[in-house]
Amino acid sequence: MLNPPEASPAGRGVVAAVVIAVTLILQVSVANRLPLPGGVQPDLVLLAVVALALVAGSMTGMVTGFLAGLAADIIPPADHTIGRYALVYCLIGYLCGVASDEMDRQSVVPFFAVAAGALAGTVVYAGTGMILGDPRAEWATVSSMVPLQVLYDVIASPFVVWAVLRATRRYERGERSRSGDTLSVPAARYRAMSGRG
């Protein structure tokens, strides 16, 4: 994985929830209002889910993806079938989490993984729209919008990945500093090992 799981699961969940909440707010208030060519905007929530999955693994990616997708399905301007984003983000979070075992934190591979996750997420979302009969998901519209969507996601990905890595690293550094010396033995365990009760 990109980031070995040293922090507590509850703390990691809180960090993931804060990252997704901030990303949802930025998506609705900033990204959706950008007047970009083609009428599409970068999907910051998808990028955050991919980055969290690469940091924390497949289970966190899957759960975070589902919850972030459900929130994205409900938050205005929700103009599609509820559950589409939840399905897509859950699937992409899981796949990126599985792929995270092969990645090295010091390389640029995570940025390529985010680009691949953005491409897969955009294509799966468009595909589910076609299956569900969304009138905006016709082949001509999708084939012209998907390349722009992926391009915008790739351009935004270094910023989102950097922010997610920074947030998770800061939390883990705080956990390590609160625990003190990693070689120290807790007093109760020391008493048990020495035979003193």
CA distance 165 to 34: 25
Q: What DSSP state is assigned to residue 101? A: G
Rounded to two decimals, the pTM is 0.76
At 21 the pLDDT is 94
- Separation between Cα atoms, residue 80 and residue 101, nearest integer Å: 34
pLDDT of residue 45: 93
Q: What is the pLDDT of residue 91?
A: 94
Please tell me the distance from the alpha carbon of residue 46 to that of residue 42, in angstroms, as a whole number: 9
- Which residues touch 131 (CB under 8 Å, ≥6 apart)? none
CA distance 181 to 193: 19
The confidence score (pLDDT) of residue 23 equals 93
Strand blocks (E) in 93-195: none
Question: How many other CB atoms sit within 10 Å of the CB of residue 171?
Answer: 18
DSSP category for residue 181? -
Between CA 158 and CA 165 the distance in angstroms is 10
Per-residue pLDDT of the chain (197 residues; tens, 9 = 90+): 555 545 566 777 888 899 999 999 999 999 988 888 888 889 999 999 998 988 888 898 899 999 999 999 998 777 777 888 999 999 999 998 888 766 655 566 667 777 788 888 888 888 888 888 887 777 777 788 888 888 898 889 888 888 888 888 755 544 444 444 343 333 343 334 334 44
Burial pattern 122-135, b for ≥16 Cβ within 10 A else e, equals bebbbebbeeeebe
